[in-house]
Chains A and B, each alone.
Chain A
Amino acid sequence: MAVASGGGHWDELMLLHPAYAGCDVTYVTTFKGMADRDGIDAALLLPDANRDNPGDAWRCLVASVKLIRRHRPEVLITTGALPGLFCLIVARLLGARTIWIDSIANYEVPSLSGRIALPFASLWLTQWPHLANGRKRKYCGALL
């Protein structure tokens, strides 16, 4: 399962296609039009959320729990943002292997969502060498 909010997060996810060529992938996003643009007809939708609006965040969390419980992905990969974080945590708690790709926009510090995702991520990648810490925060290339 591959999850990204609409906008730049989704564009980054699309560039990761070659990484899971041959896998059976279910896509999840918050903006159906972006999946349509990229010819992904069967994308699942989550309500968008950010940390400025607790009501939206709560609705998104509930929807994420339902979605992950229904689909039970073996692996969950996300480029963020908050909806991706929710999916990653729930998937990990249900036993999936999880991958967090911190957006290339996070150049000075990892994103807040990314920092929260760290203990729940099986693989955690930053796109900036100076943000790797020699432990779990790894750098293995970038999309830009």
Chain B
Amino acid sequence: MILLTVGTQLPFDRLVRLMDEIAPSLADPVIAQIGRGSYLPRNMTWHRVIEPVEFERYVADARFIVSHAGIGSLLTAERHSKPIILFPRTCYLGEHRNEHQMATVTMISGRPGLAVANDEAQLRQAVLNPPASQTPQPSITSREQICNAISAFLRGPVAA
């Protein structure tokens, strides 16, 4: 199974429609979380919002994930060591409030277990040849560092 998610807050019909067009050529069924989109898939099982507990089960069962370039999706793929294909929303097409998803894919491209697609050809290519099932490596040291900084602040003087 392949899991498609565009998050739950904003529509992303462009990606949902592209995946719906690609779905019949895939061996695996596709399950989609389409949020507030108005395009309703014909070739994929779809839900507007999948409850998070259930969503985790879908992620666990998925061979790989296709997603908007949201940090939540990225961290979810990482938790489950699943390959993920990111398709960023763009502001100029009205898909988000600013271009931060373009920035997200710039900053993380090249990490293992991850591919980026910006148009139909790239998406088709990525879905037919998904990245290897290798977990994106979180920078544990960097994570400890920010937690330590917050701990130190919490232990600090009470007067701000």
Binding site for B on A (CB under 8 A): 6-12, 15-20, 23, 31, 33-34, 36-37, 48, 50-52, 75, 77, 97-99, 101, 103-108, 122-123, 125, 127-128, 138, 140-144
Q: Report chain B residues within 8 Å CB of A11.
A: 71-72, 75-76
**Would B150 and A107 count as touching, CB distance under 8 A?**
no
**A7 and B8 in contact (CB under 8 A), knowing A15-B143, A33-B53, A143-B146?**
yes
**Would B150 and A144 count as touching, CB distance under 8 A?**
no
**Would A125 and B100 count as touching, CB distance under 8 A?**
no
Cα–Cα, bound, A48→B101 (Å): 20
Cα–Cα, bound, A4→B158 (Å): 24
**A141 and B143 in contact (CB under 8 A), knowing A6-B8, A7-B9?**
yes
Asked if B108 lies at the interface with its beta carbon under 8 angstroms from chain A, I say yes
Of B71, B101, B108, most A-chain CB atoms within 10 Å: B71
**A104 and B51 in contact (CB under 8 A), knowing A19-B147, A23-B154, A97-B160?**
no
Cα–Cα, bound, A40→B139 (Å): 26
Number of chain B residues close to chain A: CB under 8 A: 41
Cα–Cα, bound, A33→B55 (Å): 10
Min CB gap A10→B, angstroms: 7
**Would A18 and B144 count as touching, CB distance under 8 A?**
yes
Q: Report chain A residues within 8 Å CB of B70.
A: 7-8, 105
**Would A142 and B142 count as touching, CB distance under 8 A?**
yes
**Would A33 and B52 count as touching, CB distance under 8 A?**
yes
A selection of 19 A-B contacts at a CB cut-off of 8 Å is A8-B73, A9-B71, A12-B71, A18-B151, A51-B97, A97-B160, A104-B71, A107-B106, A108-B103, A123-B153, A125-B146, A125-B149, A125-B150, A127-B146, A138-B149, A143-B75, A143-B138, A143-B142, A143-B146
Q: Report chain A residues within 8 Å CB of B107.
A: 107, 128
**A123 and B97 in contact (CB under 8 A), knowing A8-B75, A11-B71?**
no
Cα–Cα, bound, A32→B77 (Å): 21
Q: Report chain A residues within 8 Å CB of B7.
A: 7
Which residue on B lies nearest to A7, using beta carbons? B72
**Would B71 and A103 count as touching, CB distance under 8 A?**
yes
